[in-house]
Structure formats: C-alpha cells, structure tokens
Structure 1
Amino acid sequence: MADPELEAIRARRMAELQQQMGGGSSTDEQQQKQEESRARQEEMKNSILVQVLDQAARARLNSIALVKPEKAKMVENMLCQMATQGQLPGKIGEEQLKSLLEQVSMQTAKKTTVKFDRRRMNLDDSDDDY
C-alpha cells in the first residue's frame, strides 16, 4: 500500500470519527427537544384534566393511576380527546368518571378460563407398579 492510499484511508476514517462526534451532540439535542415536547404535552394534558374534572374525580383518577397506570392513561387520553372535540358539557364528577372507567374496563376486559383435565389425574397409575 502506498503512502497516498494510506493517507486517504486515514482522512476518511478521521472524517467518519468527526461526523460521529458531531452527530452525537445533535442526537443529544434531539433527545432534549423530544423531552421538552413530552413535558409540554404532559403539562397541557394536566391543565385540560384540571379544567374538565372536579376534585373528587381527579383524586379517583390519581388513585387509579397508582394501581393501573395504563388504564388511567387511557381514560386521561379519552377525556382530553373529548374535551378538545367539545363533547363534554361541563366538569365531570366522580359518578361520570366511574361510568367512563366501566366503559374502558369493558373494552379492555379479557376473559380468562382455567380448564382442569381431571382424567389425567385418574389415569396416573405410577403408584400401582409396586
């Protein structure tokens, strides 16, 4: 390998490294922007929920969020969507929130069944071999 070829390879490698180092800072900036946008969205959602829910309903939703965060997120998103579309006449009380929670539960409910095969238990004759 001649010296000019070696220098060209070194120059390409150096350019790649510089690009990676420069790209790392832009990735950090992108992550920071994404975090800021998530924070803004969360703040908007919280302000909408404060306007839409009364105190008792808000407390119930917060306690549900502790136990089942995915269910609480679904209800929060549904409430925000209803509020932005103008489907909510006023503040939602605890009873109305309960009915919304029941609707979400019915949509996400999965039936689980347990089936016992008792015949296997009777066919096991390992004790009779002695």
Structure 2
Amino acid sequence: MKIRVVSKREEIEKLDTDEKIIHLAFRPSNEDIFNLVKRCKDVEVIQIPTSYRRTVSKSIEMFMEMQNIKLIEGDVWGHRKDINEYYTVSPAIAERINALRSEGISDEIIAEKLSREGKLKKEMLFYILSQS
C-alpha cells in the first residue's frame, strides 16, 4: 500500500487524479482540502499530523464525511520526500495482519498490537484492516 505524501499546497494541482491515500505534511486550509478532493475524485483517506488535526474545521469534517473520506491522524516517520513521493507501508504489515487474523484475533486487538510495534497509528491500521 502506498501513501502519497504532499508537503506543499502547490503540489495538489500536480497530483495524479487516481490517488486514494494522501498524507498532507502541511497545515491544510479548507480550500486545500476542497482542491484536493476536486482533483482526486477517488480519494478515500487523508492523513494529517496530529498537531494539525485540531485545526481542521467542523465544516471540512462534515464535508469529508459526506464524501466518504476518512480524515485520520498520523505521520510518515522517516520518509524522505526528496527520494520518493510515496511512503510505502511494509508488506510485512499485511503478512502480520494475516497471521494474527488466522489466530482468530480481533481487528481491535490487531490494530492495538501493531500500533505499538510499528510506525502506524491505529486509525491507519483500521483502514488497512478494512482493505484486507
């Protein structure tokens, strides 16, 4: 799974229109979110750092909910945008999810366990769990 990292609002207009998961590494305004959703019609998840999450307006939250877009907190630790514009979630995460599911462990416990072990927050893990 790949997460498209956007570090500047100017990059929004250059995004591939098929992007599904986007991490905004800057504090987005309402206009930035609208432009992003307008550009990427199939976006499913917008991830922003925890410190920026508190600044997102209620109207944008409602807009995203109506568009069935998940707004989640999180970061892409250790990612170098100058090397690759995508952060790749390790295939080992999917393997670990499958192994834990085969043991009959619930998604809640899997997300809790993997969030402690890795770099992903529970919200992103729940999204990954829903996709696998």
TM-score when normalising by structure 1: 0.22
From the two aligned structures, give the one with the greater strand fraction.
2
From the two aligned structures, give the one with the greater helix fraction.
1
User: Greater CA radius of gyration, 1 or 2?
Assistant: 1
TM-score when normalising by structure 2: 0.22
